[in-house]
Amino acid sequence: MQVLRAYLADFTSLIFPQLCAACSASLMANEDILCTDCLYNLPFTNFHQQPDNIVARQFWGRLNIEAAYALYYFNKGSKVQNMVHHLKYNGMHQIGNLLGVIAAKQLIKNPVFSTVDYIIPVPLYKKRLKTRGYNQSACFAEGLAAVLNATVEADNLIRVVATRTQTHKSRFARFQNMQEVFAIARPKELEDKHVLLVDDIITTGSTLEACGIELLKIPGLKLSIATIAYAE
């Protein structure tokens, strides 16, 4: 029976091949979501080894954070962009879980991140969440939590205002666009806790800053930041 199942699996893979979410190469039988080459050779930042990395420096003088991190470098037309596109727009939420696990295996080596109590994804506005069916940042958070032994709080930080795309806005315009967009539903739960705020991609950091400003109003809260990718 097992041999028959193996033959059927091989036949199905010939007709409907599973493709790598980053490079679109056909996956081998022992591969899932990412091919072995992409799994090990995508452009890692190694920011977990650099306390003063470029993501952390973006928040200097803007937010009082413990640490900041991004898993990969992001460039237009890159494999990382392909992967994030599949995660956000093609329903492949399992990519977020996988990348969360990969990121957490790096972060757990850094003592700062080992004290995280709650992981909070940047929220989508309710209409966009309904359309997409899931929050890609929450998928990333779930993967992180599985390794960091932390709790995902996906409904405590809420987006109360819908915003337009930030793609063509300046850094200052992006920050203005994010004012009074977020709120905390249950602040008491987060008092004196270390919160890891997560998103998919960081560019200027305006969205994360707006979220962080609200979170840091909570007494005793310590804040760290992690994203899937940093857009150079």
**Structural domain count, the chain:** 2
What per-residue string of b and e applies to 113-146 under the rule 16 or more CB within 10 Å gives b?
A: beebbbbbbbbbeeeeeeeeeebbbbbbbbbbbe
Residue-level pLDDT at 77? 96
Regarding whether 115 and 37 lie in a shared domain, the answer is no
pLDDT by residue (tens digit) across 87-104? 999 999 999 999 999 999
Residue-level pLDDT at 178? 61
Regarding whether 195 and 143 lie in a shared domain, the answer is yes
Regarding whether 5 and 118 lie in a shared domain, the answer is no
Whether 7 shows a pLDDT value over 50: the answer reads no
Is the CB of residue 218 less than 8 Å from the CB of residue 185? Answer: no
Residue-level pLDDT at 177? 55
Regarding whether 118 and 82 lie in a shared domain, the answer is yes
Regarding whether 90 and 153 lie in a shared domain, the answer is yes
Regarding whether 197 and 130 lie in a shared domain, the answer is yes
Whether 13 shows a pLDDT value over 50: the answer reads no
Tell me the chain's radius of gyration from C-alpha atoms: 19
Regarding whether 64 and 8 lie in a shared domain, the answer is no
Angle value at C-alpha 111, between 44 and 40, nearest 5 degrees: 20
Task: Give the chain's largest Cα–Cα span.
Answer: 63
Regarding whether 184 and 135 lie in a shared domain, the answer is yes
Residue-level pLDDT at 25? 97
pLDDT by residue (tens digit) across 23-47? 999 999 899 999 999 999 999 999 9
Whether 8 shows a pLDDT value over 50: the answer reads no
Dist. CA 232–CA 51, nearest whole Å: 18
Regarding whether 170 and 66 lie in a shared domain, the answer is yes
Residue-level pLDDT at 136? 97
Whether 50 shows a pLDDT value over 50: the answer reads yes
Regarding whether 6 and 59 lie in a shared domain, the answer is no
Higher pLDDT, 164 or 155: 155
Q: Counting beta carbons within 10 angstroms of the beta carbon of residue 214, is it exposed (0 to 12), middle (13 to 18) or buried (19 or more)? A: middle
Regarding whether 122 and 71 lie in a shared domain, the answer is yes
Residue-level pLDDT at 144? 98
CATH of the domain at 104: 3.40.50.2020
pLDDT by residue (tens digit) across 162-205? 765 545 555 555 555 566 789 999 999 999 999 999 999 999 99
Q: Which domain holds residue 26?
A: 1-41
With a CB cutoff of 8 Å and minimum separation 6, the contacts of 119 are 141, 144, 145, 148, 150, 151, 152, 153, 195, 196, 198
Is the CB of residue 93 less than 8 Å from the CB of residue 228? Answer: no
Residue-level pLDDT at 161? 82
Whether 61 shows a pLDDT value over 70: the answer reads yes
Regarding whether 72 and 85 lie in a shared domain, the answer is yes
